[in-house]
Structure 1
Amino acid sequence: MVEQRRRFSPQFKAEAVQMVIETGKPIADVARDLGVNHGTLGNWMKAWRHANPEPDPALSPVERARVSEMEAEIRRLRMENEFLKKAGGLLRQDAPVAERCAVIEVEKADYDVAWMCRLLRVPRSSFYAWRNRAETAGQARRRQLATEVGRVFGVGRGAYGCRRVTAQLNREGHECSVGLVADLMRELGLAAVQPRAYKRTTVRGQTPVDSPDLIARDFTTDGVPGQRLVGDMPPQTGGAPSYLRTGEGWLYLATVIDLATRMVVGWQMAEHMRTSLVVDALAMARDGGHVLAGAVFHSDRGAQYTSAEFHQYCQRIGVRTSIGRTGVCWDNAVAESFFSALKNEIFHHHRFTTRARARFAVADYIEVFYNRRRLHSSLGYRTPHEALNDHRTAAAAA
């Protein structure tokens, strides 16, 4: 079976370019995070730079020297910030010297020992005395595992509880139990972010186009990706639209999720809640090759999904619409679960002054974290991207 060439929507390309610009990471690193070829991302960057040329001011020798000093200072501060961020995920605020020494021991291959001792306020003599002390095999394993627990918790952006941390450690070859990991997380003061309660109210259109419920709460699938999809967009609570709050006003997100892989295969953001938002999200999934002919798309009875415009678009691309009951969130549980995770793991813990910053955070969460790093219990603690690759490998071997 010949693998279908990936296609990328303009939205995806723009967000990928924005990630390179905002993070300052090398193109190869961002390409790896997004699962695209680095040459492809490089071409997108060249096209953007060609369309947005920057002036090349002439600098005097004094100004060049000053710029070099500033760049050196920025590199130093970045390195300190990187190290302190790692240490912050492993250490409590009042961590004893032994725990700080353990962090230095783990990171000594990447950073200078004297430099780390200065940042963590540990005398070098104390570190070497701690390093040479007698330690039992059990204590050494527990110490090393605690470091790995802190690392995985940090990679999981604070969203992983003890079960997901345990699953990730076992995937990496660190055999451990949920109980041991729970104890270590408690000792390290690590706790996964907790969801907030919210009220869900679906608003129907005045003349809705009705569709049968083709999912019937069966969100499992043994089929290939692209056959069964679910979608959702911001709820309306108390009669007024409310979703992603920013300093410039509301921002709304529509998604398309593949039930076979739990991957967010289509998404769009806008300042409005018009039907075009959900049409654009489904179009992104179709343009990316994630929607097969005759696929089922399931949603709630929101006005956008029951509109004639959306129904006509689905008919045009050969997609069958499926709609759950009004006000019953369990009929669209997978989509609801994604929005709960998004709010719990990002928006309840950050403030965004502009819509642009919120867009960047959502793009990073979906494309880098949720689709490619976050372990899903419904997938046997695999990532959606791994599930998609497994399907493709099995299809190629058949």
Structure 2
Amino acid sequence: MFLKKTRGDREEAGLSLVRHEFIYQAIKEENQEHNYPISTLCKFGKVSRAAYYKWLHREIPESEAENLRIADEIERIHEESPDKGYRRIKDDLERYHNIKANDKRVLRICRKLDIKSTIKYSNNGCTRQAANPQYIAENILNREFTSGAPNEKWLTDVTEFKYYVGIIKHKLYLSAILDLYDRRIVSYIIRDSNNNALVFDTFDAAIEANPDAHPIFHSDRGFQYTNRAFHAKLEAAGMTQSMSRIAKCIDNGPMEGFWGIIKRERYYGKRFTSRDSVVEMIEEYIDYYNNKRLQRNLGVLTPLEKHESYLQAA
């Protein structure tokens, strides 16, 4: 009984050759350039001669050719950014490579190519709770992590990065402020010391860039944020201070999430051997994050695209 193949069947048939395509192509090139025996090359590639010749002389179906084209771009994306999973790869294909494919198709090709995103490591924050806090604010934000407009809700925190000079370990501290509407990094400061000046200067930079902003300003109970002088700065700027509860890092979830993103995508698994290399990595990543990193929860836009779309509509 003849059964007509569905589009899914044809696509899966095309995918079946994606993994071996590169092996077959290598065999063909080595044979043509160096005249190595096909049988020997097939043995090294762990494929049969019959399968190779079938590939060599076949007519390539349209669906298979499309899968191979998509697979080639997926490999390039993965080599450049191994942290990306299939969903982010799919979004990049559509936005930056003009290739439309649904999530399932990209996932199947990634599985055939054994492409997986890098492992997500747990983030261990470095903010020190104040032993004798001068000012404690209520958790006004109350995990309401959505916002109707830019500069309504800001989150902030400090995290640390390590680098080595010889066997000596050094630390750098990154303080940043994140807007909950468009998830953009509003401001950031990198310093060698985790102190009040680090946090105060980050706040001042945010105000300078957004002089009319009067958001809810949420943080954990780190010693910088419970400082009376910092609370006075917030009041002078017309902001409402909010703080996470003790031992409830989820109260500042999106900020903690950003630390996890930057460290998973650019920091974990690497050994930095100079201060400049860490600073350059952070600066380049935040520029990439704000301007090029597509986010599905923003409608497959970058943070600055989301921000600018609001300004244009206002």
Alignment TM-score > 0.5, same fold: yes
Name the TM-score class by shorter chain. Answer: 0.7 to 0.9
1:164·1:381 contact (CA, 8 Å) conserved in 2?
A: no
Shift of 1:201: 7.3
CA distance in 2, matches of 1:274, 1:314: 17
Q: 1:379 aligns with which of 298, 301, 304?
A: 298
Shift of 1:122: 7.6
Answering whether residue 25 of structure 2 is matched by residue 98 of structure 1, we say yes
Answering whether residue 201 of structure 2 is matched by residue 280 of structure 1, we say yes
1:201·1:327 contact (CA, 8 Å) conserved in 2?
A: no
Q: 1:388 aligns with which of 284, 292, 307?
A: 307
Counterpart for residue 144 of structure 2: 218
Q: Which residue identity is paired with 1:179?
A: K
Compared CA separation, residues 136 and 199, structure 1 to 2 (3 A) = same
TM-score, with length taken from structure 2: 0.78
CA distance in 2, matches of 1:218, 1:99: 54
SS in 2 for 1:254: strand
Compared CA separation, residues 323 and 388, structure 1 to 2 (3 A) = same
Compared CA separation, residues 322 and 204, structure 1 to 2 (3 A) = same
SS in 2 for 1:382: coil
Counterpart for residue 161 of structure 1: 85
Please, which runs of 5 or more residues in structure 2 have no aligned partner?
Answer: 1-17, 36-52
Q: Which residue identity is paired with 2:25?
A: A
CA distance in 2, matches of 1:339, 1:352: 17
CA distance in 2, matches of 1:99, 1:391: 50
Counterpart for residue 67 of structure 2: 142
1:202·1:327 contact (CA, 8 Å) conserved in 2?
A: no
SS in 2 for 1:164: helix
CA distance in 2, matches of 1:135, 1:319: 63
TM-score, with length taken from structure 1: 0.62
2:177·2:202 contact (CA, 8 Å) conserved in 1?
A: yes
Shift of 1:167: 2.5
Counterpart for residue 188 of structure 1: 113
Q: 1:300 aligns with which of 183, 207, 220?
A: 220
CA distance in 1, matches of 2:294, 2:74: 15
CA distance in 1, matches of 2:73, 2:134: 52
1:97·1:122 contact (CA, 8 Å) conserved in 2?
A: no
Shift of 1:293: 3.7
Q: 2:102 aligns with which of 156, 169, 177?
A: 177
The 5 Å alignment of 1:335-346 reads 335-346=255-266
Shift of 1:97: 4.0
SS in 1 for 2:291: coil
Alignment coverage as a number of residue pairs: 272
CA distance in 2, matches of 1:382, 1:265: 17
Shift of 1:175: 2.5
SS in 2 for 1:325: coil
1:296·1:320 contact (CA, 8 Å) conserved in 2?
A: yes
Bigger radius of gyration: 2
Among all aligned residue pairs of Structure 1 and Structure 2, give the percentage whose two residues are the same amino acid: 26
